[in-house]
Structure 1
Amino acid sequence: MTQSIALNQMSKMKFHGMIEAYKTILDSNKHHDLSPEELINHLLQAEWEERENRKINRLYRTAKFRYSATVEELEFSAHRGLDKMQLLRLADMSFVKRKENILITGATGSGKSYIASALGNQACMQGVKTQYYNTTKLFPKLKMLKADGSYIREVARIEKQDLLLLDDFGIQQLDDMARMALLEIIEDRHGRASTIVVSQLPVTKWFETIGDSTIADAILDRLVHTAHRIELKGESMRKKQ
């Protein structure tokens, strides 16, 4: 009777991890072998792990990465120009703690978005609030939100991310609205949060893509300074596969 009451109370308090752990102990009849302290510690650990897993899954679903990629799956062959030690250092997410940026460039199909998604997934696993955007879709979306008055709310949500992934930057020339939106996002995140920018254009071409020289200077000064660079080489990974 006491056990069923305990399970019922756990259920009401939504201690799902604790419920499963307690049921397992009861089914295996090991509760007699545990001291009260050991039992409590075991149940608390189970609840903590369950909540952490739920948090990670929620972060991953919300991030909406382009690829379901992991750092362990990356190919570090020499011809790609991908430095394994650099990537592993970035994967510990210390760059997020230091509010630093990452710029990933390379030809179409070279695996840029996959690497960014792998780093994003690693961030979620460490509890970092992360969001992925394709810039060819983001800026038109922001333009539409300007019309219905929800632009400020969306930009505020973007700025609150601990790690922001901007994919396919530079495929389209930025218009006035896109330039100002990008400036606003980068300005508010500068020194406060990290951004990963993925582009098939080398960084030297970004000034031209942004367009307005004054705004381009302001954006690139905040984005590029002290950023980690990953410059991929070689043929398309998609063609290779």
Structure 2
Amino acid sequence: MECLATLDFVHKEQNLFITGSSSTGESYLTCALGHEACKRGFRTFYANAPKLLGALKVAKVKGTLETEFKKIERCQLLILDDLFLVPLDVKERPILLEIIEDRHERKSTIITSQYPSSNWCNKVGDPTIADAILDRIIHTAHAIELYGESMCKLRSKKN
């Protein structure tokens, strides 16, 4: 974590994915890294992935999708929290692919997921698109898998 906290991976335009069961701290760590990136002057965009993809589907219907893509593209660090919480639908797949493709080896992305990366292909749904997305995310990524009990459960035991 100390190495990641230097944000060297952002300078190197690499990705990071943090996986773990619900409430093991993946979102907390990601937000801490995003906060540090902001403090160091990196333009950072945080989004709950299912909400972002839903909003981008609406933008596509309205004809404003390219404008939204440009906002995301300008950021040096994109944080997609809770990606693959629900499987992608047929309209979300190409949107996610375009985001990942635009950033590949040019900008950094942090992804959190409750599912290990070995399950991501099933969550994308289409094997061809899944291969394209995962190829661009995983091969240049640092990976952290968190284990343990839910932080919420641990806090309730203390009370």
TM-score greater than 0.5 by the shorter chain: yes
Task: Give the residue type in structure 2 aligned to 1:139.
Answer: L
After TM superposition, the structure 1 = structure 2 runs for residues 134-213 of structure 1, keeping only pairs within 5 Å, are 134-213=48-127
Question: Paired residue for 1:109?
Answer: 23
**CA shift at 1:124, angstroms?**
0.6
Q: Which structure has the highest helix share of the two?
A: 1
Matches within 5 A, 1:1-241: 87-241=1-155
Amino acid aligned to 1:145:
A
- Structure showing greater radius of gyration is 1
Distance 1:147 1:226, change over 3 A: closer
C-alpha distance in 2 between matches for 1:234 and 1:190: 32
| Amino acid paired to 2:88 | L
SS of equivalent residue, structure 1 residue 95: helix
> When the two structures are superposed, what TM-score results if normalisation uses the length of structure 2?
0.95
Task: Give the match's secondary structure for 1:176.
Answer: coil
Deviations 1:133-153 (A, max 9, x none): 001101110111112111110
TM-score (norm 1): 0.63
Alignment coverage as a number of residue pairs:
155
Q: Which structure would you say has the larger RCO, counting Cα contacts within 8 Å and 6 or more residues apart?
A: 2
Q: Secondary structure at the match of 1:105?
A: strand
- Measured after TM superposition, the shift of residue 225 of structure 1 is 0.3
For structure 1, the residue ranges without an aligned partner over 5 or more in a row are 1-86
- Decide which structure has greater strand share: 2
